[in-house]
Amino acid sequence: MSKSTTTVDHSSQDVLEPEARPVPEGRVARLQHGETWRSIFRHPHLDTPRGRALQSFSNVFLHIYPVKVPSRVLKLRYSWRLGYIASVLFAVLLVTGIYLMFFYTPSVTAAYGDMQQLRTGVGFGQLIRNVHRWSAHLMVLVVVLHLVRVFYAGAYKRPRQFNWVLGVSLLLITLGFSFTGYLLPWDQLSYWAVTVGTNLISYVPVLGKQLSDLLIGGEQIGQATLLRFYSLHVAVLPVALGLLLMVHIWRVRKDGFAVKRGEVGSFAEGSTDRLVVTSSGAEPATEDGQRVRLLGVVDRESVTAEERLTDDTVFTWPHMLVRHVVVGLGTVATVLALGVLFAAPLRGIANPNETPEPAKAPWYFVGLQELLSRFDPLVAGIFVPTALVLVLVFLPYIDRNSATEARNRKVAITIFSIVLAAVIVLTVIGALFRGPGWQFITPWDHNYLEL
């Protein structure tokens, strides 16, 4: 027998758990136990505690997840999977966005024509554009809902204060993404929505003009603006969001999931990967109460198989993963269905000399526009949003109350709920109840909201 054959035989045998190896039966099983398969997947498929741990350890993608998670994390109520859905939407936006980049030129003479061309001259062009647009709208909505969920759960408290700060940055980047993308079709809707939005910047005391020039690159929106927005949209913001998101998700894991763990104490601190895997599963701590870190999967003879301490954790693979696959596919199916049913709008080509009535900002800024119509621009356009963002960023350091239960956080919850209700009411009025001349209208008579 040649040397290489000996190697094959050895690798297809699990020396650590020989009895757990199923006898290969059928073509698929034989393929899975063959050398080629094993050269791609570094371990055999074992449905044992150790095998499940290995699934996470030895796969670069699954490695993001902890090996085990508290079983309560599996419940939909824990997070409503909103952060995860936002991540999936970001992935959809990247894929569809890259496709669109092949057919788009960031030039005022070509951009609008490229958008028209998507309808007729590009395979699945219109559908991909629709899906991209719907995913973008949904992402803004889902990220805001995620923030609201994190607030009401009190999940921004120690030790997650900084992850909240990262989260607010992610929200701002998401808004930046949507806003810069809005201009790219170069039609009347995008041109005037961005004009209304960027006008706000000129109200900033002292630096207003400089900031506005920096963003717009001139007196009014034109070629320089389109190129700047495009560069921000396809290069700067994706890199910024991607990097921050990695840290954000890493912190979720390292800070321990904000989920009540009964005997381990409420919102247990510390990482869930501080476990030791024994042949019978994973232990959260040693008997003397010390935390231990899992550094690898070891031969079961080298650890003592002991009585399990209270352990409410389950293996990520397959329990968590299966849920993520279902929610991920559901999210993709939703944006696909929206893309098939509702086409992204494309009005006439951008015309700086013809202001449409009403000229509305994108829906997530329309609450601000409504506020501006009622108060002094400096107050409504600058002070209120700046104060809102600053309070949001520093919230975990302002709210020093360590309680997470709603009954012990009445003041914070009341203030947050009032502000949230005000934002919703202003947005709904601005989006649906305002018509030409910013006059009050009833949406069932005429709808001036375009998404």
The Cα–Cα gap between 254 and 248 comes to 10
Nearest to 284 by CA among 297, 296, 271, 295: 271
- Is 224 or 393 the residue whose CB approaches ligand HEM more closely? 393
Residue holding tokens 């700046």? 386
Q: Which residue is nearest to ligand HEM (CB)?
A: 167
The Cα–Cα gap between 56 and 230 comes to 38
- Is 150 or 183 the residue whose CB approaches ligand HEM more closely? 150
Q: How far is the CB of 270 from ligand HEM (least distance, A)?
A: 12
Radius of gyration, alpha carbons of the chain = 27
Cβ(161)–Cβ(397) below 8 Å: yes
Q: How far is the CB of 325 from ligand HEM (least distance, A)?
A: 14
Q: How far is the CB of 280 from ligand HEM (least distance, A)?
A: 28
CA distances from 16 to 10, 38, 44, 48, 330 (A): 12, 16, 11, 12, 38
Q: The tokens of 294 are what? A: 């899992």
Residue 112 has φ and ψ, to the nearest 5°, of: -65, -40
Q: How far is the CB of 80 from ligand HEM (least distance, A)?
A: 7
Cβ(366)–Cβ(430) below 8 Å: yes
- Is 115 or 150 the residue whose CB approaches ligand HEM more closely? 150
- Is 62 or 224 the residue whose CB approaches ligand HEM more closely? 62
Cβ(332)–Cβ(92) below 8 Å: yes
- Is 323 or 347 the residue whose CB approaches ligand HEM more closely? 323
Q: How far is the CB of 423 from ligand HEM (least distance, A)?
A: 14
- Is 86 or 431 the residue whose CB approaches ligand HEM more closely? 86
Q: How far is the CB of 409 from ligand HEM (least distance, A)?
A: 15
- Is 245 or 361 the residue whose CB approaches ligand HEM more closely? 245
Half-sphere exposure of 317 toward its Cβ, with a 13 Å CA cutoff?
22
- Is 8 or 249 the residue whose CB approaches ligand HEM more closely? 249
Neighbours of 138 (CB within 10 A): 19
Nearest to 51 by CA among 316, 343, 285: 316
Q: Across-strand partners of 315? A: 68
- Is 62 or 359 the residue whose CB approaches ligand HEM more closely? 62
Cβ(104)–Cβ(62) below 8 Å: no
- Is 245 or 264 the residue whose CB approaches ligand HEM more closely? 245
The Cα–Cα gap between 246 and 388 comes to 26
Q: How far is the CB of 206 from ligand HEM (least distance, A)?
A: 29
Residue 165: in which H helix or E strand, if any?
helix 161-183
Binding site residues, ligand HEM, CB under 6 A: 79, 81-84, 86-87, 90, 143, 146-147, 150, 155-156, 160, 163-164, 167-168, 170-171, 174, 245, 248-249, 252, 257-258
C-alpha 403, offset from chain centre:
27
Cβ(271)–Cβ(120) below 8 Å: no
Q: How far is the CB of 327 from ligand HEM (least distance, A)?
A: 9
Q: How far is the CB of 393 from ligand HEM (least distance, A)?
A: 8
Q: The tokens of 283 are what? A: 């232990």
Q: How far is the CB of 81 from ligand HEM (least distance, A)?
A: 5
Residue 281 has φ and ψ, to the nearest 5°, of: 140, -145
C-alpha 78, offset from chain centre:
16
